Amino acid sequence: SQQGEEDPQALSIQEGENATMNCSYKTSINNLQWYRQNSGRGLVHLILIRSNEREKHSGRLRVTLDTSKKSSSLLITASRAADTASYFCATDENNAGNMLTFGGGTRLMVKP
């Protein structure tokens, strides 16, 4: 079963614009992670935010976490055509031993 739900399911923007994706989850977590998947390929780890953190940055990525609302957002600034991919949030639930539960993903298309 999938814990997370991503919103929107699909997003289309122009190169240079910012892209925001949201993730909601249901249970208490140790951390939340974001992954990128290019079409038909494996997943690439982007960023991990722990339950005691509220915001984290990595290059053009900004992730926020609100544990009271059980939600997270991923912001990609100054998007590029190469950012076109599916983005998944995954939660590491308390006492789950690093077993990740993935959401359904947001399919991002960045038009040149």
Contacting positions for another protein (CB under 8 A): 1-2, 4, 30, 33, 35, 40-45, 48, 88, 90, 92, 97-105
- Identify the CA nearest to 84 among candidates 32, 36, 22: 36
Tell me which residue of 57, 53, 63, 6 sits closest to 29, measured CA to CA. Answer: 53
**Closest distance to another protein from the beta carbon of 105 (Å):** 5
Q: How far is CA 108 from CA 11, 12, 13, 14, 63, in A?
A: 5, 6, 8, 11, 16
Nearest residue (CB) to another protein, 30 versus 67: 30
Q: Which two tokens stand for residue 109?
A: 């298309």
Of 2 and 15, the one with the shorter C-beta distance to another protein is: 2
Q: Residue 100 Cβ, how far from another protein at the closest point, in Å?
A: 7
Of 90 and 108, nearer to another protein (C-beta) is 90
d(CA 75, CA 80): 13
Q: What does the block give as tokens for 16? A: 């240079």
- Beta carbon nearer to another protein, 76 or 90: 90
Tell me the closest approach of the beta carbon of residue 49 to another protein, in angstroms. Answer: 12
Cβ 76 to another protein shortest distance, Å: 19
